[in-house]
Each structure stands twice: as structure tokens, then as C-alpha cells.
Amino acid sequence: MNEEVFIILGCCMVFPICAIWMVTKQNIARDNNRKDILMAALDKNPDVDIEDLMHKLNPPTKLLKEKLLKKLLWGMILSFAGIGLIVIDAIAAVCNIWTGDPACMTAGWGVVIAAIGVGLLVNYNMGKKLLAKEMEAELKNLEKK
């Protein structure tokens, strides 16, 4: 009984805390590295354009269109994977290949995965409609550079 509690606590509490700590530590190290590079550049050449240097140091952010297309891609992948699991379960039920719990698990996971995929597809469609003006402005801004 006690071993099960430790396993659950380890998975549900310790692992997420360690993951957040590692990501935070990585972000702090990245920011310190950028600061050191910026300070070294200013020491060597005080006339350097700080704004231009910061743009070069920061990784480029993804465009809204790229983010929406990524949602479309994952929405399609998950929708088809979920539908595939549901179809596999239906075929297995017709052919009497599986009976009992595995058949229910396959259909259940298929519905969950398909629902997530459909949610991402709806998010893509709504985002495309709502962010059309912002995407145009972003493209015009890129063309100016």
C-alpha cells in the first residue's frame, strides 16, 4: 500500500515540479547567456546598436499563420488517428476479434483523441477568421524588413 502511494506521489507531484524547475533553470541560463553576450559586445564597441543586437540574439517568433497551420496539422493527425482507432474497434467487434475491456479501451481512446483533433480543427478555423487582419499586418511588416 505504501509503495503505491509513493509511486503516485512521485508521478503526480515530484515529476512535474522537477520538470518545471528544469525548464526554469534552462530559461534563466539562456537569459544570462544573452546578457553576457550583450555586455561583451558593449564592452568591445560602445557604439553598437543595442536594439539590432537584441533582435539578432532573440530567436525569431513564429508567425500567426505558422501557429495556425501547426494546429491544423495536429488537428488532422489526431482526428484521423482517433477515427482510425474507432474503425479498428468497430471492425474487431464485427469480426469478434476482441471482447471485453481492450475493445472498450480502443473505442474510448479513439473518441478522446478524435475529440482533441476536432477541437484543434475548430480552433484553427476560428483563429483563421478572427486573426485574418493580424496575419495580413504581420506579413506586411515582414515585407518592410
User: Which position has the grid cell 471482447?
Assistant: 99
Q: What pLDDT tens digit does each residue of the chain (145 aa) get?
A: 577 777 787 778 888 899 999 999 999 999 899 888 888 888 888 888 877 777 777 777 788 889 999 999 999 999 999 999 999 888 888 887 766 666 667 888 999 999 999 999 999 999 999 988 988 888 888 777 6
Q: Of 83, 73, 78, whose CA–CA distance to 117 is shortest?
A: 78
pTM over cut 0.85: no
Question: In the structure grid, which three cell numbers stand for residue 88, read together?
Answer: 479498428
